[in-house]
Structure 1
């Protein structure tokens, strides 16, 4: 095809000479995700609380696949979903990491707890992540890029985790924080 046609089909995005038409992404329900991870000895789920940046989401999916995360939960509203940018940034991980899309994160956390999960949040105040007990089924909440975790979810967690920092900037990019914490679980579980 002529380059102009590819430019039009990709809506002006960088296509590198290839455009593929696909069906819309089919999200799992939380029940489907719990069923899918039931065979995993100690499932590790990520809960993304209103993440907005598709590059962060794609990066998190890529790291989730690399570090053995069992699945990801995202809210249906006020959050980035699976888009072409997310798919590209994930370098294909979107095809391997199960993703559930839910209407209410607070109700989903309650359901996870009923299923035996320990739920951890991320904040500037909390337990040093290096002291994190990662055995058994766990879920980790990564907050919004600008606002962090929503106040409503903070009261539902079993423990808050923090990444100690000594610099002048007192926050990390959501994708970087998520990657650090995912690999902490991977490291600790690999030592067992």
Structure 2
């Protein structure tokens, strides 16, 4: 990994402020291939947990692959939804197996705050192709939308191996997405609007999965 890939001279979650992270390595350098010589020399200003300080990006991804949980996150992107970056960042925080972008390939990465560099990302032009991916891996598709007949997320038990599928801000899930799902769940709301922000909804549902299935002793 070169210095401008993910260090203070390039984009970071905190705007490349020098007080973030750690400076150059003090003392003899570790004899470990996971460490990046440029980070050891110049410092590590990335927003990563302390356990990954000075590690190469590839080494972080490989280590995370041992920790990832068997739930996937998918979001439709037919109108260049600006919430996708937030969804990716949250999926990374909860160690999702992968994030799937359905529809348009391009999306605004600003909200991901660089976490997409450590997260497996897939693109599917259509919902049908996402469904094929899920079926081949035995993943149940759970759609999230406040449509009639949806089950309250507060009272259901999400499957351990699944794809949590989210729609876009405003229109919600497409008809194709709802048809591809084995179940549709909704989030209880008590205010005046008919929906909540898609990024917020994704965080609520992912954390519901975490409360049901995650090993909390493994949290950083």
- TM-score with structure 1 setting the length: 0.70
Deviates more, 1:102-111 or 1:166-175: 102-111
CA contact (8 A) 1:48 1:75 kept: yes
Report runs of 4+ in structure 1 exceeding 3 Å deviation: 37-42
**Residue of structure 1 in register with 2:129 after alignment:** 107
Give the gaps of 5 or more residues in structure 2. 1-14, 18-63
Q: Which has the higher contact order (CA 8 A, sep 6+)?
A: 1
Q: How far apart are 1:108 and its partner, in Å?
A: 2.0
Deviates more, 1:125-134 or 1:142-151: 125-134
> What is the rounded CA distance, in whole Å, between the counterparts of 1:42 and 1:135 in structure 2?
12
1:70 aligned to which of 97, 113, 116:
97
> What is the rounded CA distance, in whole Å, between the counterparts of 1:151 and 1:123 in structure 2?
11
CA separation of 1:92 and 1:129: change in aligned 2, threshold 3 A: same
Equivalent position SS for 1:110 = helix
> What is the rounded CA distance, in whole Å, between the counterparts of 1:140 and 1:66 in structure 2?
15
Max Rg structure: 2
**Residue of structure 2 in register with 1:158 after alignment:** 182
Equivalent position SS for 1:149 = coil
Number of aligned residues: 153
Give RMSD over aligned pairs.
Answer: 2.7
> Are 1:48 and 2:72 an aligned pair?
no
> Are 1:140 and 2:164 an aligned pair?
yes
Give the gaps of 5 or more residues in structure 1. 1-14, 18-36
Q: How far apart are 1:82 and its partner, in Å?
A: 4.4
**Residue of structure 1 in register with 2:198 after alignment:** 174
Equivalent position SS for 2:180 = coil
Equivalent position SS for 1:52 = coil
- Give CA deviations for 1:30-60 in whole Å, capped at 9, x if unaligned: xxxxxxx997785111111126233x11111
> What is the rounded CA distance, in whole Å, between the counterparts of 1:41 and 1:70 in structure 2?
5
CA contact (8 A) 2:68 2:96 kept: no
Deviates more, 1:170-179 or 1:101-110: 101-110
